[in-house]
Structure 1
Amino acid sequence: MKTALRVFIIFSLGYFVSYLVRGINLPLAPLLSSELGLSPAQLGLLTSLYFFAFAACQLPLGVMLDRFGPRRVLMPLLVLAALGALVSAYAEGFSGLLMGRLLLGVGTSACMMAGLKAIISWFDARHLPLMNGALYAIGGLGAVAVGVPVEWALSVTSWRVLFVTVAMLIGLIVLALFWLVPERSEAQAVSPIGSQWRGIAEVFRSPVFVRIAPLAMVSQGVFLGVQGLWAGPYLRDVTQLSPGAAANMVTIMGLAMVVGAVGFGWLGRRLHSHGIALQSTAVVGMLAFMLAQLLIVLEVPLPVWLLWSFYGFSGTAGVLCYASLAQEFPAQLAGRVSTLLTLALFIGAFIVQYGFGLLLNIWPHGDVFNAALAHRANWILALGVQACALLWFYRGKADRLMLNHVKA
């Protein structure tokens, strides 16, 4: 058990770094805009490129994780991530930042899935919801770090030194993976590569995946996209908070995310033991997340910290979809199930981050009123898409129940 916990902690640190570099442009956005003259659309593209690179890697990663195991896949990729942090540190313009961001996206693309695969390999199946939630919670500490801690770091050093520090941290995690994580014998099993890719098709065609993936995609896409970039501008332009107060709110949201990840994992496990499916708990949580967004957009007379805490807490509900889908497929498909779902989630996040930036860029400028309208228009559109995905889920569920009734 001690070895399993050590493995969990090391893989969780990799996911922490993944979350840190994912959201690091949020506090850096004003500096990059002023120092390098980046527009909202350029900021959106720069930040969302991480999600694009992340998503593009998912299909081959699913095959590699199931074929070679999480340790041997994650180590070389994290070396690329460290290189990306160094490229970002020494970038002199938009193109250099794009290259660094691309390398960071590719290099950290396996952090979450490698962690999930390691949990499946080292822990009993009944612990999956809780351990997956714990992994997500530690990743959430990376979201906490991009609030007040990074703001403080930027007050004593430059954003370039910050990227060098990130590269050093990634290097330490690579060394820990090499020296402290043993191989698991099942990770050595090799099946024909054609069979590996057929497994992807099997997951992708599964009715249960087709039903839940769109809802998870838009829900987590909005959560990751806003939490990773647009929360700060929204708090400044719409809620009229100062940069310092906005950073505090981002930290509060990250802490709520940590609590939510652990809480939903614990709740999912408890309810599952009483016969309530993990998928049902996840969907109710994603409904609560939609409510949180609506309350923020409508500016209901509640404390701002409470609204954004509710946002951070409920936004983690989609993580239960990983454990839910893992129960629907054989263990040898675990890596491909996780990476296919992550592919959907990060495509959603890319669309949200870049799309929000495009709308903000084309919306009439010149006053705070128009900026607030643009932010609200983005979120209303996102809520509409989430509602459509929810209808798709319930339609698919009704069709499945009817089919089962006919077969009976």
Structure 2
Amino acid sequence: MAADVLQRDLGLTADGLAALTGAFPAAFALAMLPVGVALDRYGVKPTALALLAIAAAGSLLGAAATGPWSMLAAQIVLGIGCSGMLMCPVTYAAKTMPPQRFGLWGGIIQAFGNTGMLLSASPLALLVDHAGWRSGYVACALLAAGAATAVALVVKEMRAAPQAPRSMLADVREVLALSLSRDIRGPVVIAFASFAAVLGVRGLWGGPWLMEVKDLARVPAGNVLLACTVALIIGPAVAGVLERRFQRHRSAILVAGHLGAAAVIGLIVAGGPLGWGVAADVVLLAAFGLLISAQVICFALVRAAVPPERVGRALSAMNMSFFGGAAVLQALSGLAASAGGIGAALLVFAVALTICSVAFLRLPGPR
């Protein structure tokens, strides 16, 4: 929603902006190593409070950025701080819910978390138009402070089960080993493209596609993106219900959702030269949000594959792939945008979704 003014004020090209914003998921992915260990060692509440404080600091750094390097620092700090936004509640649910209920609750958690995207559509467009893009970062700092206050007042921490003394390095090695293990290899591979597509379509390139290719103003473009946002709120809860009801077929649901999302991206791009109206983008973006929401099944597959005392590490190992893939594919999409325009950037995610879905079907792992 602010890509154009960010490029202008920070002196960035399209591929430079993609590379710079890719620092966020890259830092996020690397932070998964200590975060996964901290969740199992120290518990959810202290880990969440520490990370929310870092996220607030990163937001203020973003508001004060004056060029590419200072914004890069802000993106890295933000990535570290936001690395627990999903993992903390998901790990809390994994440690307190039986496996057969975790898929449903994982979907509810992600659906509730995705409601924050509502703020980054029309409301952010209005804020940028009236107060500038820096005000968006200040608003994020205030949201982080509010979330930290809620965690401090509401979350009841559980005491971690006693464990044999281990070094932090040994714990980190275990997270890395889990990410490559046969136990969760399939979900880790499909996750590589899964969240990258959400960040790429809804976060980075959706706004520029609507404003530059479809000639919409900022606020109308934000209104169109609301369709995708609403779908990303409803979709995870629906996927959670489907996972619980059709557990024997959850892998098929996961793959169908990702291949369907890839096909929808292709249709969105095709609609540019074919001259499809904005109504088609509304429908296709909503369909994309619903289909890609099957990604929550990855969490259920990983939860079912490991014992409770290792669930924080295992979920963090998969989350490394979620956000590591986002960092890699956002950088690739920036190069594609420079070579072939925004449509080429979007197709990077369609190709990645297809490759990773096929690989998931061929790899061992939980089903």
TM-score (ref. length: structure 1): 0.82
Distance 1:316 1:225 in 2: 14
Q: Where does the alignment leave 5 or more consecutive residues of structure 1 unmatched?
A: 1-26, 364-372, 402-408
Q: How do 1:4-403 and structure 2 match up within 5 A?
A: 27-185=1-159, 187=160, 189-194=162-167, 196-197=171-172, 199-200=174-175, 203-272=178-247, 276-299=248-271, 303-361=280-338, 363=339, 373-396=340-363
Q: Deviations over 1:205-243 (max 9, x none)?
A: 432422232222113322222222111112233334333
Contact 1:74-1:114 within 8 A present in 2 as well: yes
Distance 1:251 1:189, change over 3 A: farther
Distance 1:163 1:375, change over 3 A: closer
- Tell me the amino acid that sits aligned with residue 77 of structure 1: L
Q: What displacement does 1:118 show?
A: 1.0
Report the aligned-residue RMSD: 2.3
Q: What displacement does 1:290 show?
A: 1.8
Distance 1:246 1:205, change over 3 A: same
Q: Deviations over 1:149-193 (max 9, x none)?
A: 1112234323323322321221122222223222212x2534332
Distance 2:362 2:83 in 1: 32
- Tell me the amino acid that sits aligned with residue 33 of structure 2: L
Distance 2:110 2:139 in 1: 23
Distance 2:158 2:202 in 1: 35
SS at structure 2 position matched to 1:334: helix
Distance 1:49 1:226 in 2: 17
Distance 1:219 1:165 in 2: 28
Distance 1:326 1:277, change over 3 A: farther
Distance 1:108 1:219 in 2: 18
Q: Where does the alignment leave 5 or more consecutive residues of structure 2 unmatched?
A: none
SS at structure 2 position matched to 1:184: coil
Contact 1:219-1:315 within 8 A present in 2 as well: yes
Distance 2:347 2:203 in 1: 19
Flag the structure with larger Rg. 1
1:18 corresponds in structure 2 to none
Q: Deviations over 1:245-282 (max 9, x none)?
A: 2211211111111111111111111112xxx2433321
Q: What displacement does 1:82 show?
A: 0.8
Contact 2:40-2:309 within 8 A present in 1 as well: yes
Contact 2:59-2:137 within 8 A present in 1 as well: yes
After superposing the two structures, state which structure 1 stretch, 116-125 or 377-386, moved more. Answer: 377-386
**Number of residue-to-residue matches in the alignment:** 360
SS at structure 1 position matched to 2:185: helix
Contact 2:232-2:289 within 8 A present in 1 as well: yes
TM-score (ref. length: structure 2): 0.90
Distance 2:175 2:6 in 1: 39
- Tell me the amino acid that sits aligned with residue 383 of structure 1: A
Contact 1:62-1:339 within 8 A present in 2 as well: yes
Distance 1:29 1:264, change over 3 A: same
Distance 1:380 1:174, change over 3 A: closer
Q: What displacement does 1:378 show?
A: 3.0
- Tell me the amino acid that sits aligned with residue 351 of structure 2: G
